[in-house]
Amino acid sequence: MGLSKKEIELLINKIRNKYNDSAKNYGSNWFDIEAFEQRLRMTLDNKMNLEGFLLAEVANLEKIKETYDNKYKKETSFSDIVEKRMEENSERIKKYPEIRFHPLAHYEICHLYGAMREFALYYFPVLWMLLTGDLKERLIRLEDEFSYLAIPRGKMESKRIDDHLLILLRSNKKDIEVEKDKNEYLKESAFLLHKVIDFTKELLNKRFPQWEKPLTFEKLYIEGEKKRTISKIFPNVTGYGAILKINHLALQIIDDFRLSAFREKTF
């Protein structure tokens, strides 16, 4: 037995109300009442099976809602994953010193600058105690790059950070210019850290008996608080142990700042 005329009218009104309510909650692009009305008129004009049409519309409403929920959940899930990863990455770099050289400087460059400065001042100098001859010549070239990127000049920041600061201080600066130069600093730092990683790997493959002995600091021609800090970082380690520690920190910075893809091409 089919639906009565009154039951059909009630069902039509129920479907209309469902479309209207759903359009308010989920958007008319998903729940288009006008499209329903056109389908209804076409069914009536062509004397089609009205009851079958209405039951199909009820099923269609449920299907649209199911599709919407699935899409929304996926988008929410993806958004949550991205947000979580951004938070995790932010936490990973917060362990490095933050040098806030300008209020508008991005937190990523502030922390990488802090990491590079710490590396340059308290880790890299240990290699001067170990290397001689041609190896020391290569060390000089690496130190020049650290000086440019990360070592402060008296009360001023490093030369490279000072260049970034000039962009931040421009009255007509564009966000894209600041972002581009920030990324350049990250890339240049990655290039240098990869050089350090390759250099220390090479050193670890060399066999020098003196590097197997505990590290002493007589040849570290640095005084005061800086020397005390370096001594605390490298307690009771051999020369090889110190090189390995320097290698590990460079690798860790690369990993924490997601810079592994930035390596200079060699031909």
- CB neighbour list of residue 142: distance below 8 Å, 6 or more residues apart: 124, 192, 195, 196, 199
Q: Once rounded to an integer, what is the mean pLDDT over residues 64-87?
A: 61
Phi and psi of 100, rounded to 5°?
-85, 85
Q: Residue 32: which pLDDT band, with cuts at 50, 70 and 90?
A: confident
pLDDT for res 35: 82
Looking at residue 49, what is its pLDDT? 81
Collapsing DSSP to helix, strand or coil, 238 comes out as strand
For 12, list phi and psi in degrees, rounded to 5. -60, -45
* Low-confidence winner among 80-89, 163-172, 178-187 (lowest mean pLDDT): 80-89
What's the CA angle centered on 248, arms 210 and 219, to 5 degrees?
35
In the predicted model, what is the mean pLDDT of the chain?
86
Please report the pLDDT score of residue 78 as a whole number. Answer: 45
Q: Which phi and psi (to 5°) does residue 156 adopt? A: -95, 160
181: which residues sit within 8 A by CB, 6+ positions away? 163, 164, 167
* CA quadruple 113, 115, 121, 123: dihedral sign: negative
C-alpha–C-alpha distance, residues 101 and 133, integer Å:
38
Contact between 123 and 233 under an 8 Å Cβ cutoff? The reply is: yes
For residues 240-263, give the mean pLDDT.
Answer: 92
pLDDT higher at 79 or 226: 226
pLDDT for 267 equals 40
Q: What is the rounded average pLDDT of the residues 168-180? A: 92
Band (pLDDT 50/70/90 cuts) for residue 193 is very high
Between 35 and 73, name the one with better pLDDT.
35
- Residue 250: CB atoms within 10 Å: 23
Predicted confidence band of residue 69 (pLDDT cuts 50, 70, 90)? confident
| Of 163 and 64, more confident | 163
User: Residue with structure tokens 């030369």?
Assistant: 159
**pLDDT per residue as tens digits for the range 124-162:** 999 998 888 889 899 999 999 999 999 999 889 999 999
User: Amino acid letter at 79?
Assistant: S
